[in-house]
């Protein structure tokens, strides 16, 4: 009985940080998009920090950096809504099945899932468009316009890419990582 309680407790605690990351990222994404829609939609771009950060409202019909935005609406729907939803449904199944994932990988997947769902919600409730409002750069060298969900996706990918390398370096140096 005690061993069962201990294993369920560790299973529960294993999910706390990823769940907090997921909820906070998704909540922040949806809240900032709502603010952007309410306050920035009819406003010209506003520069901050010497135009390093620019706040400007945009509705993106495509994926990353507008990729696929020129596709016909029905093709965009199948690619960016239906296929995206299928992938986002599969991610939690993988999390449950892969008990060997460490906390950093689970946080990375939570970030990917939160960002993906945040942008998918936009597409479903905004006629296939994603609300973007952030732009960074120096002079003419600028990023595309993005949102909090995009930052979560990029952070999740970075964690997934960097974590195996960090573990390998720790193993080679005699250290350990969680």
Q: How many CB atoms lie within 10 A of CB 148?
A: 24
Angle at 88 between CA 85 and CA 91, to 5 degrees: 155
From CA 108, how far away is CA 124, in angstroms rounded?
24
Q: Which 8-state DSSP code applies to residue 135?
A: E
Residue 133 and residue 40 in contact, taking contact as beta carbons nearer than 8 Å? yes
From CA 130, how far away is CA 121, in angstroms rounded?
8
Q: State yes or no: is 29 an active-site residue.
A: no
Q: State yes or no: is 150 an active-site residue.
A: yes
For helices 83-97 and 103-125, angle between their N-to-C axes, nearest 10 degrees: 160
Residue 129 and residue 61 in contact, taking contact as beta carbons nearer than 8 Å? yes
Strand pairing class (53-60; 46-48): antiparallel
Catalytic residues: 132, 150
């Amino acid at each position: 009985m005690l061993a069962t309680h201990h294993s369920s407790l560790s299973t529960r605690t294993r999910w706390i940080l990823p769940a907090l990351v997921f909820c906070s990222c998704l909540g922040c994404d949806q809240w900032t998009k709502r603010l952007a829609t309410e306050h920035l939609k009819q406003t010209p771009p506003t520069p901050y920090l010497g135009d390093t950060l620019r706040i400007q409202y945009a509705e993106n019909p495509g994926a990353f950096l507008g990729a696929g935005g020129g596709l016909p609406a029905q093709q965009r729907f199948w690619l960016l809504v239906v296929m995206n939803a299928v992938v986002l449904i599969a991610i939690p199944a993988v999390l449950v099945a892969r008990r060997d994932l460490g906390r950093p990988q689970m946080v990375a997947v939570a970030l990917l899932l939160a960002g993906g769902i945040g942008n998918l919600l936009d597409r479903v409730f905004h006629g296939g468009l994603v609300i973007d409002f952030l732009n960074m750069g120096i002079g003419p060298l600028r990023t595309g316009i993005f949102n909090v969900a995009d930052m979560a996706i990029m952070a999740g990918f970075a964690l997934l890419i960097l974590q195996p390398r960090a573990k390998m370096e720790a193993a080679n140096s005699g250290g350990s990582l969680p």
